[in-house]
């Protein structure tokens, strides 16, 4: 959940920090907190949710994460131009995320 909250560029609200079941085990949380504006691609959001699975055996391998992110970057660069090696100030303002 923390990753999704960071993706939405918000601070943690106390009610959103942890979600435990009756046995004290944190539940899988594969959703954004309220007020998320959809800044990232749905493919990246699904990959993040995949990485956050409670059962470690169900999480993607490092090779899978690398492959998926490189595929996404290649698709992005076909549309918007090459990003690799560029600084934020080199990008069109519409492609920047303020932090």
Q: What is the pLDDT of residues 26-37, one digit of tens each?
A: 555 545 555 556
pTM of the model: 0.56
Query: Are residues 30 and 1 in contact, defined by beta-carbon separation less than 8 angstroms?
Result: no
Mean pLDDT for 59-80 is 90
* Higher-pLDDT residue of 89, 98: 89
Domain limits, the chain: 2-95
Summarised one tens digit per residue, pLDDT across range 2-56 is: 555 555 555 444 444 445 555 555 555 545 555 556 667 788 888 988 888 888 8
Alpha carbons 84 and 31: distance in angstroms, whole number: 29
Q: DSSP 3-state helix, strand, coil percentages of the chain (rounded to 5)?
A: 45, 0, 50
Q: Where are the alpha helices (DSSP H) in the chain?
A: 2-7, 42-51, 62-80
Query: Are residues 99 and 9 in contact, defined by beta-carbon separation less than 8 angstroms?
Result: yes
Alpha carbons 98 and 63: distance in angstroms, whole number: 29
* Higher-pLDDT residue of 2, 84: 84
Q: Is the pLDDT of residue 64 over 90?
A: yes
């Amino acid at each position: 959940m923390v990753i999704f909250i960071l993706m939405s560029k918000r601070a943690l609200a106390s009610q959103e920090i942890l979600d435990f079941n009756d046995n004290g085990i944190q539940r899988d949380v594969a959703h954004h907190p309220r007020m998320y504006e959809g800044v990232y691609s749905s493919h990246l959001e699904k990959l993040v949710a995949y990485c956050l699975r409670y059962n470690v055996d169900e999480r993607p391998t490092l090779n899978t994460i690398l492959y998926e992110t490189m595929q996404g970057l290649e698709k992005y660069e076909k549309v918007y131009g090459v990003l690799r090696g560029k600084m934020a100030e080199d990008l069109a303002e519409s492609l920047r995320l303020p932090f």
